[in-house]
Structure 1
Amino acid sequence: MILISMAKCFLKTLISMAKCFLSENILTSYRIYGDRKSLLTPLIILHGGPSGGFDYLLNYRRLADDGRMVIFYDQYGCGRSTHFPHADASFWTIARYLRQLTQLIHHLGIGHGYSILGHSWGGMLAAEHACLQPAGLRGTILASSPGLRGTILASSLASSPASIALWQQEGIRLFNALTPMSDDDIKNVIMPAVIYQNPPEQLVAYYARHVYTLAEEAVHVQRSNAQFAADPTGYHILWGTNELAANGKLADWDITPHLCQIRCPVLVLRGENDQATERVVSPLLSHISDCRAVTIPGSSHNPHEENIAPCLAAVSAFLRDLA
Structure 2
Amino acid sequence: MAGGGLITPKMASSILSTPPGQTNPYPSPTRTGTIPFTPPGTSLETETWYALWGELSSSTVPLIVLHGGPGVAHNYLLPTSHLSSAPWSRTVILYDQLGCGKSTHLPDKNGDTDFWTPQLFMRELENLLKALDIETYDILGQSWGGMLGAQYATTRPKGLRRLIIADSPADMVSWVETADKLRKLLPEDVQETLTRCEKEGTTESEEYEQAVIEYLRRFVCRVWPFPKELADSLAQLKEDNTVNMTMNGPSEFFVTGSLKTWNIISELHKIQIPVLLVNGKYDEAQDVVMEPYFREITGRVKWVRFAESSHTPQLEETDDFILAVGNFLEAAL
Q: For 1:279 and 1:255, how far apart are their aligned partners in 2?
A: 15
- Match 1:306 to one of 316, 320, 326: 316
- Match 2:275 to one of 246, 266, 276: 266
- Determine if the alignment matches structure 1 residue 235 to structure 2 residue 257: no
**Matched letter for residue 312 of structure 1:** I
Q: Which whole-Å deviations, capped at 9, do the CAs of 1:19-47 have from their partners, x for residues lacking one?
A: 12022312000000122248442100000
**Matched letter for residue 170 of structure 1:** T
Greater relative contact order (Cα 8 A, min sep 6): structure 1 or 2? 2
| Residue matched to 2:165 | 142
C-alpha contact (below 8 Å) 2:268/2:296 kept by paired residues = yes
Structure 1's 225 and 254: CA in aligned 2 closer, same or farther, altered over 3 A?
same
C-alpha contact (below 8 Å) 1:14/1:35 kept by paired residues = no
Q: Considering only aligned residues, what root-mean-square deviation do their CA atoms show, in Å?
A: 2.4
Q: For 1:40 and 1:105, how far apart are their aligned partners in 2?
A: 13
Matches within 5 A, 1:207-218: 207-218=216-227
**Matched letter for residue 148 of structure 2:** L
Q: For 1:322 and 1:242, how far apart are their aligned partners in 2?
A: 40
- Number of residues of Structure 1 aligned to a counterpart in Structure 2: 298
Structure 1's 268 and 46: CA in aligned 2 closer, same or farther, altered over 3 A?
same
Give the 3-state SS of the residue equivalent to 2:259 in structure 1.
Answer: helix
- Match 2:329 to one of 308, 316, 319: 319
| Residue matched to 1:50 | 70
Q: For 2:205 and 2:81, how far apart are their aligned partners in 1?
A: 28
Q: For 1:11 and 1:244, how far apart are their aligned partners in 2?
A: 33
| Residue matched to 1:78 | 100
Greater share of strand:
1
| Residue matched to 2:147 | 124
**Matched letter for residue 63 of structure 2:** L
**Matched letter for residue 208 of structure 1:** R
Matches within 5 A, 1:98-247: 98-111=122-135, 113-149=136-172, 165-179=173-187, 187-189=195-197, 194=203, 197-199=206-208, 202-247=211-256
- Determine if the alignment matches structure 1 residue 249 to structure 2 residue 258: yes
C-alpha contact (below 8 Å) 1:13/1:35 kept by paired residues = no
Q: Which whole-Å deviations, capped at 9, do the CAs of 1:61-99 have from their partners, x for residues lacking one?
A: 001113311000111101111111111232111111100
Structure 1's 315 and 195: CA in aligned 2 closer, same or farther, altered over 3 A?
farther
Q: For 1:274 and 1:224, how far apart are their aligned partners in 2?
A: 18
Structure 1's 281 and 195: CA in aligned 2 closer, same or farther, altered over 3 A?
farther
Q: Which is further off, 220-229 or 264-273?
A: 220-229
Residue 197 of structure 1 and its aligned partner are, at CA, apart by 3.4
Residue 188 of structure 1 and its aligned partner are, at CA, apart by 3.9
C-alpha contact (below 8 Å) 1:195/1:242 kept by paired residues = no
Q: For 1:234 and 1:312, how far apart are their aligned partners in 2?
A: 29
Percentage identity across aligned positions?
32
Q: Which aligned runs of 4 or more in structure 1 are off by greater than 6 angstroms? A: 10-13, 181-185
Structure 2: 5+ residue runs without aligned partners?
1-24, 40-44
